[in-house]
C-alpha cells in the first residue's frame, strides 16, 4: 500500500524530520535504521521502536512496535475522545512526549504549570519535535555510515517519490 509522506504527516516540522529519516534510509541501502519515540495513551506511557528500511525499488518500509509501556494515572488532555477543546494549543514533542510549558516538561508537569488539572475545557495538542530530540536524531542520522558530512544542512531536500509501507509512526497520532 503506497502513500505519500504529506498524506499522513500533517505537521510541516515533522515532515522535515521524516524526509531526513527517509533520505538516510535510502543512503543506508537496505540496512535497517531504528530509532525510538513515544506514543503515549492517557493512562500509559508507551515507548515505540521504529525500523525504517529502503529497498532497491525505492520502497520504504516503516514498521513500529511497542517497546515498553508503563501505566500512570490518566491524563485527560491526552484523551482523544474529549473533542471539545479550547482554541489554545499545547505543543508536544513526538519523540519524547514532553510538552512546552515555558520549558519542555512532562505532560503531568505541564498540566500543573498550565492549570489543566482544574480546567473545565482542555486545550488541543499539536505535535512537533523539541530541540534536544532534533539534535539527538540529527546526530544519530549523521553517525550512520554512508552519509555525507554536514547532512543536516540538506534535510529539507525533497526526496524522490517513495512508496511507504507504514504501520504507525511518530507525528501521525
Strand partners, 41: 44
The pair phi, psi for residue 23, each rounded to 5°, is -60, -40
Q: Which three cell numbers stand for residue 26?
A: 535510502
Edge-to-edge strand order for the sheet containing 99-100? 104-105, 99-100, 85-93, 122-128
Distance CA 136, CA 138 (A): 5
Name which position in 25, 96, 110, 116 contacts Zn ion (CB under 5 A).
96
Q: Does 37 engage in binding with Zn ion (CB under 5 A)?
A: no
| Cell numbers placing 40 | 503515549
In this complex, which beta carbon is closest to Zn ion, that of residue 134 or of residue 166? Answer: 134
Q: Give the binding-site size for Zn ion (rule: CB under 5 A).
A: 5
* Pick 47 or 165: Cβ nearer Zn ion: 47
Is position 95 an interface residue for Zn ion (rule: CB under 5 A)? Answer: yes
Ranges within 123-162 binding Zn ion (CB under 5 A): 130, 133
Residue 3 or 125 with smaller CB distance to Zn ion: 125
Q: Which residues bind Zn ion (CB under 5 A)?
A: 93, 95-96, 130, 133
Amino acid at each position: 500500500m503506497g502513500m505519500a509522506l504529506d498524506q499522513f504527516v500533517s505537521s510541516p516540522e515533522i515532515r522535515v524530520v521524516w524526509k531526513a529519516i527517509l533520505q538516510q534510509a535510502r543512503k543506508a541501502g537496505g540496512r535497517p535504521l531504528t530509532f525510538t519515540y513515544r506514543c503515549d495513551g492517557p493512562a500509559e506511557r508507551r515507548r515505540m521502536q521504529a525500523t525504517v528500511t529502503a529497498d532497491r525499488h525505492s520502497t520504504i518500509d516503516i514498521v513500529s512496535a511497542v517497546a515498553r509501556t508503563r501505566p500512570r494515572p490518566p491524563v485527560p488532555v491526552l484523551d482523544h475522545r474529549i473533542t471539545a477543546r479550547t482554541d489554545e494549543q499545547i505543543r508536544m514533542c513526538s519523540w519524547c512526549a514532553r510538552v512546552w510549558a515555558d520549558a519542555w516538561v512532562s505532560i503531568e508537569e505541564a498540566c500543573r504549570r498550565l492549570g489543566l488539572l482544574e480546567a473545565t475545557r482542555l486545550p488541543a495538542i499539536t505535535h512537533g519535535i523539541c530541540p534536544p530530540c532534533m539534535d539527538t536524531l540529527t546526530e544519530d542520522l549523521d553517525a550512520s555510515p554512508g552519509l555525507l558530512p554536514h547532512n543536516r544542512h540538506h534535510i529539507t531536500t525533497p526526496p524522490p517519490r517513495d512508496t511507504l509501507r507504514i504501520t504507525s509512526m511518530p507525528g501521525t497520532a
